[in-house]
Each structure stands twice: as C-alpha cells, then as structure tokens.
Structure 1
C-alpha cells in the first residue's frame, strides 16, 4: 500500500504546527490550513479522495484510540468534575438544545428546505452519531457529515479566542462550551491549552452526543 497519504498528512500538519508555534494567530491554525493545502495538492496531483484515505488508513485507525484517550484527563480530574456534576448536566441540556434550535431556526429564516434543516440540526455532535441521527430524522447523512466537520473546524480555529473575547475564564465553562458546540476538533484544540478544560470538553462532547441522539428525533417533530 502506498503510504503517501500518511506522509503527506504528517508533513503538512508538522509544517503548519511549526508556523503556528512561531506565529500564534487564528489564521495559522494548523488543522484548517492542513485540510486546505492537502485538498489543493490532491486536486493538482490528480489524486482522488478515496485513494488518499486508503493510503492514510493508519491515521484513520488511530482516531479511535485518540478519542478513547480523552477518558484519561477525565479520570485524572474526576473529583473536581464530580463537584460540578449538576452544572455540567445543566450545561449539556441547555447547550445541546440551543445548538439545535439556533441552527435550525437560522437556516429556516434563510429559506433552507426541510431536508436541509433536518441535515443541519445534529451538526454539533460527533460525526458518527450525527450521521445516524440525520438518517433517522430524514436528513442527508453526507451533508450532515460536511456540516459536522465544518463546525468542528470553526471550533478548533476560533473557540478559545471567542471565549476570551466574551471573558469566559472559568475552566469548566470553557471546556463544556467547546465540547458541546464543536465536539472532537474543538476538544483537540482546548486540551492543548488546559487539561481540565479539555477533560470537560471531552466529557461534554460524549454526553451531548447521547443527549442529542435521544431528544432530536422527538424535537424535530415539534419544530
């Protein structure tokens, strides 16, 4: 198997990570820049996305252990997280519901069709769960996947800066807001800045996925 996908991904991400280390800014976000550059290189080189993913299958395999590893900081900070269990639970319910309602109504005001509305509603939960929800409520799973990834990219690029702008200093609140709104990619960013915030973000991502999967099929009927 040609490992060009693994090599390309690692080299490009390393170079942009070094760029961000030397010039820390929103526009040097390595995840966003890596996706854009790799897409351009694949297009220019005449490589299909399928062949790229096949050659980068090892990195895709590592995604599972990476997500599971988020349990480590949760366990390390379990006592502090436990003291905020009530606040976290309220944050999941309010944040998860708000993520669905604001997205749904904004898209509706812009004239989106019912199918698109059902596709966009689960965009704030992780891809695997969002695709399943989308299929169940009559959305387009492939469109949902794109919207989920876009949401995660925006969270990865802007979440900490937005939290700073609105003067959200509490570490629990920062983590919960990031995990509920921008799932895995947002968590990947916030955990590099604060382990406790990252732990809460990972927990929020998981709990919001379960919460949204349970309520959205019923909520969409009301909407």
Structure 2
C-alpha cells in the first residue's frame, strides 16, 4: 500500500496539471486542485488521513532533501541578483521580518503561549525550513507545517490576484512579494501566469528561507519580552 498512496498523490498532481492547463485559473492552481482531488478520493474511499500519510512515506521523506533543490533558481538568477542585489536584499529582509513579527504578535495578542508563538512565527518559509526553525526556538514542527500550508495556500490563491487588483504591474515586485509570504506554493501560482514574476518569487522564497533561519531566534526573543 505504501507505493499505492505515493502513486495516488502523483496521479492527482498530474491530473491537476492537465486541468490547470485547460482552465488557466489562478484560483484553481495545480496545488489547490491536487488537494481537492486527494481529499475527494480519501473521503470517497473512506481512507484515514493517518493511513494515507504513512503510506505516502516515499514522497514525505523527500521533503527535507527538496530544500537543496531551492538553490537551483537562486543559481539561475545570479545575474539578476548581482544587478539589483541591494534592493532585493532590502525587500526580502523587510518581508521576512514583517512576516515573522506579524504572525507572532497576532498570536500573542490572541493569548497564545510561548510554544504557539514559536510555532506560528516561521509560517511564511518553505515547510522543511519552517519545521527546523520551529523546533529550534521551542515550537511544534508538525503544527508549523500546517501553518506553512495555510499561508502558502492563501498566497497561491489570492496573492497574485490581490496585487493585480492593486494595479501593481511590475513582475519583479509581484514575484518578490508573493515569494516572501507564500513560499513555494505562491511561486508555483506565479509561474503559471507570469514567468518573470515566478522567477523573482523563487529568488524571494530562497532568500527569505535563509534570512528567516538566521533572524528567527532573535525575533522570538524580542517578541518574548512582550509576554
């Protein structure tokens, strides 16, 4: 059964890609459609989520390794970074800090405990990095992963649309904004509608992951003073 659930996930993703190519909708991007398909299959077949996750181990185990792949878009865009490195570094650093502080302070305002604040703080970086950050500062890695998915899902569905509604036309700016908040899921959404925005989103998600890893302990200590 372990390979069945892995093949099921891959098949759902392939079907989602085919549908996305036909409808070309930002709201129903490939990730959202994959989730919808998998949820429908699991409910129809009455398959427990825990059983599906255990059976999907081959793909789950690749999650940590996939972090290495994030270096590829960074390498491919080295020329762009070299030309505009000051602006890019300022934007992604500001975005990383804003994302961490906003999530942590909101959780604190709602009465969250220290471990919950630590769990929410890294919500806008890719899952393996967020889980490592959460564990390092006293959060719950598994719950941090859920926060990452929620943030990514919101950004992948609404991020590009909201920025367009605000009449932001610069693809580079759109990409940096989406990638800094919605990591890989937002990047996929951008790539499906604007290649340049997608490229800059990939730059942003990689740099934000690095910056957040370095600054998260400091941000958590600063927020802790408010507890």
Normalised-by-shorter TM-score class: 0.7 to 0.9
1:61 is displaced (CA, Å) by 6.4
- TM-score between both structures, scaled by the size of structure 1: 0.84
Query: Distance between the aligned counterparts of 1:139 and 1:58, measured in 2?
Result: 26
Is the contact between residue 74 and residue 200 of structure 1 (CA under 8 Å) also seen in structure 2? no
- Are 1:71 and 1:199, in contact at CA under 8 Å, matched by a contact in 2? no
Equivalent residues of 2:71, 2:206 under 8 A apart = no
Kindly provide the CA deviation profile for residues 43-96 of structure 1, in whole angstroms up to 9, marking residues without a partner as x: 442434454345545545666786655555544443233211000100111100
Q: Relative to 1, partners in 2 of residues 1:83 and 1:62: Cα closer, same or farther, differing over 3 Å?
A: same
The yes-or-no answer on 1:214 pairing with 2:214 is: yes
Structure 1 partner of 2:107: 107
Between 1:48-57 and 1:4-13, the stretch displaced more is 48-57
Q: Does 1:13 align with 2:13?
A: yes
Relative to structure 1, the CA distance from residue 197 to residue 70 in structure 2 (aligned partners, 3 Å threshold; closer, same or farther) is farther
Give runs of aligned pairs for residues 6-85 of structure 1, distance below 5 A: 6-53=6-53, 55-57=55-57, 59-60=59-60, 68=68, 71-85=71-85
Q: Can you list the C-alpha shifts for 1:200-223, whole angstroms capped at 9, x where unaligned?
A: 222221221121111121221121
Aligned-partner Cα distance in 1 for 2:129–2:70: 17
The size of the alignment, in residue pairs, is 223
Whole-angstrom CA distance in 1 between matches of 2:114 and 2:66: 35
Q: Which moved more, 1:68-77 or 1:173-182?
A: 68-77
Shift of the alpha carbon at 1:37?
3.2
**How far does residue 122 in structure 1 lie from its aligned partner after superposition?**
0.6
CA-CA distance at 1:27 after TM superposition: 4.3
Deviations 1:99-122 (A, max 9, x none): 011112222333333322221011
Instruction: Give the TM-score normalised by structure 2.
Output: 0.83
Corresponding position of 1:135: 135
